[in-house]
Each structure stands twice: as structure tokens, then as C-alpha cells.
Amino acid sequence: MKNDQASFSVQLRSAILSKRSAVCVGLDPRWSSLPSNIRGEIEHQNRRAVAQATAKFCCEVVDAVEAFTPIIKPQAAFFEQLGPEGMQALASVIQHCRKRSVLVLLDGKRGDIGSTAEAYADAYLGVESAWGCDALTINPFLGEDTLEPFLRVANDRSAGLFVLVKTSNPGSGFLQDKQIDGEFIYESLADLVQSFAKPTIKQGYGSVGAVVGATYPEQLSSLRKRMPNAWILIPGYGAQGGTAADVAYGFDEEGLGAIVNSSRGIIFAYQSSEYAGRDWQHAVAEAARDTARQIWEATGP
């Protein structure tokens, strides 16, 4: 049964406008990069202690950036590698985001067939799910039918989806740039996403979006036109080489329609000479503020 909660698209747009920020802060908590006062004397083999410290770090990052970001993107892999304790840490971080009224996009890149896809969708999507995520990244490469369970649950629970279309990694072209009948695979995927992106707000954006990397600005520009009703999650900004000018291609004429992921450049900002002399949380907050301003000035309404 469909709930009465505002759609993910409506919530995302509202948060972007109220915070004047299209920055999606990625939580990629590499243990070796965490601040020394968080790591303390903990040995890496002590998974329970590492997981607890990781959760503490991520929650304090959320506290630092909540004013400057509409949405947080935990990367599931960094929690999964810590075993059961790591998954408990992920749960606590998601719950903390909910307390701070920040949307949560889990970067899990899930995708499978039939009942397995249904189980993934049921587990992650919506505030009433076991994990309580507002949105999830999904992998379409097993076929259109594998997306349908995610679409159904997302629609019922007012949740969002981001489908991998043209990813930011250097090797993405091996498959995504292959041509079939004169059309790139990423273009076929974009058309599929557009068919799912049913408008739910005045600006015409639905709750099914696409992942398109900032490292391919030409494709980002063409895909923005090809998917006029889809939100675009843009990875590759900052540490991977994407600039504010690059990500601008993913936004519409009104400065909406996209969110830009930044992970290392924000959560590990205290390692940068630009923010030297500040305690780590202040450095993270300033980096989030500066990134939001730079992108808003290049793209904002």
C-alpha cells in the first residue's frame, strides 16, 4: 500500500532549495584516513572497536555537514568489510541521519533477479524498511525485469532510485560505451531511466534517477537532455578530477535536477593544506560549505 509521505523527488528538491546546496556528501570511511583521535590505539584487527569508531566518525561528519547538504550517501562496502559489527555501524549512521533530518542514499549498487531483487528492495527502500533508506543505487545490467521490483517498492514507499548509466571510473567505457544498432549502451540505459522517471513535482522530476560521472562532461550534457525527468547523481567531483564547470552540464536551465557527490574532498578535508590548522570537524564543515557554494554558484537557481 502506498504511503502518504511526500515523494523522494519532492523531499530532495525541497532540501536542495532550503539549504542552497546540491552536494551529496559521500561517507567512504577508510580506516587509515580517519582522524588520529578517532582511531586512537585501536588495532585494525579489532573489528568491533573499528566499527564503533567508524560509526562515531560518520555521525560526527553528519553533524558537521548537515547544514550544507540535502543528502548523505554511505558507501555500503566500507561497512560490510567490517563484518556484522560494520553493518550495525551502518544502521546507527542511517538512524543518526534520520534524527538530523538529512536524506539517506545508500550506495549499495544492488541488482538481481526475481525474488532476490524484491528482497533487496524490501530491505533498503523507505523509512519503514529494515534499513530505512530514502534512496538506493541499483545496477541495471541484469536486465529491465530486475529493476521492476525496485521500482514497485520505491513507488509504494515514496523512495528514490539511482540507476547506473555512465559511471565515473576510467574503465566504464568497456561495456557502457559499446554500440548496439548505432546506440551506446549508456544511451539505451538512459532511455530506460527516462521511461521510469514519472514526474511528481512541478519541475517535472520523478523519483527514479541516473548515475552519470562528472569525468565525462560531454556525455553528461547529452544525457541531461536525454533524461529530462530524471535526477542525476554525479560522482567524480573533486578527487576524481571533475570540476564545478563539468558538473554544471548535469543541471537544467533552472539549476536543478542533479546532486553532486563529494566524498574524500569533504570527509577528509582535514588532510588538506587548504584547511590546515583547524580541528577535523571544523575542516569538514568548511569543506562542505565551500563545495556547496562553488557548485551553487556554477549551477544554482
Q: How far apart are alpha carbons 293 and 291 in whole angstroms?
A: 5
Q: Under 8 Å CB-to-CB from 229, ≥6 apart: which residues? A: 194, 197, 198, 199, 204, 205, 206
| Angle at 5 (CA atoms; ends 4, 7), nearest 5 degrees | 115
198 noted as active-site residue: no
**How many CB atoms neighbour CB 275 within 10 A?**
19
Closest C-alpha among 125, 136, 137, 55 to residue 96: 55
Instruction: Tell me phi and psi for residue 242, to 5 degrees.
Output: -70, 140
- Give the three-state DSSP class for 161: strand
Residue ranges of alpha helices (H) inside the chain are 8-19, 36-39, 47-65, 76-80, 83-99, 114-124, 148-156, 173-176, 185-196, 217-226, 244-247, 264-267, 280-299
Q: Residue 73: what residue type?
A: K
Cell of 47: 573489528
Q: How far apart are alpha carbons 183 and 172 in whole angstroms?
A: 16
Q: Which of 19, 73, 99, 109 is catalytic?
A: 109
CB 137 within 8 A of CB 77: no
Catalytic sites, residue numbers: 109
